[in-house]
């Protein structure tokens, strides 16, 4: 892909230089920079319809310039979106942060009695679940003899 980018970049610079030359060759209404090339010299060399040809050629070069700009921007974005060092570092931090977000790790470490989840009814259950600590503290009823 780097070869394609370099090739398109060379064409891009060539088109930019051609646009510069063609725009400077055009004869402006106020005889500004166009007079630097001798004013009517381009009409004498290329003919009377030079202005129309140069305008059309400038339009084509402008279209090619913008198409190359868009293509190069897409190629550069695709090239830099690959596995970069920053992306790898962010993924490493994200995977390291996921285990610490588990419920067991989210408990405060200073609690005196660990919460075993006893007494919590499962989802969809109508009867509460008795905790093992509560059933151990209640003395069993003696059996009738």
What pLDDT, on the 0 to 100 scale, is given for residue 25?
A: 83
What does the DSSP assignment read for 12-26?
HHHHHHHHHHHHHHS
pLDDT at residue number 73: 93
Which residue is it, tokens 């030079």?
A: 50
Question: Which positions of the chain have pLDDT values less than 50?
Answer: none
Convert the pLDDT of each residue in 68-108 to its tens digit. Answer: 999 999 998 888 777 677 777 888 888 888 765 555 555 55
Confirm if 121 and 127 have CB atoms less than 8 A apart: yes
Q: What is the torsional sign of CA 4, 7, 11, 16?
A: positive
| Whether the model pTM is above 0.85 | no
CA contacts within 13 A on the Cβ side of 18? 17
Rounded distance between C-alpha atoms, residue 18 and residue 30, angstroms: 23
């Amino acid at each position: 892909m780097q070869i394609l980018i370099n090739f398109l970049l060379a064409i891009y610079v060539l088109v930019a230089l051609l646009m510069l030359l063609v725009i400077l060759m055009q004869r402006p209404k106020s005889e500004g920079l166009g007079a630097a090339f001798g004013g009517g010299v381009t009409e004498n060399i290329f003919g009377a319809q030079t202005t129309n040809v140069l305008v059309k050629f400038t339009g084509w070069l402008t279209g090619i310039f913008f198409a190359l700009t868009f293509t190069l921007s897409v190629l550069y974005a695709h090239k830099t979106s690959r596995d970069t060092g920053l992306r790898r570092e962010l993924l490493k931090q994200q995977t390291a942060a996921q285990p610490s977000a588990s419920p067991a790790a989210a408990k405060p470490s200073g609690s005196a009695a660990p919460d075993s989840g006893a007494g919590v009814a499962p989802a969809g259950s109508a009867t509460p679940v008795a905790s093992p600590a509560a059933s151990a503290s209640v003395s069993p009823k003696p059996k009738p003899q």
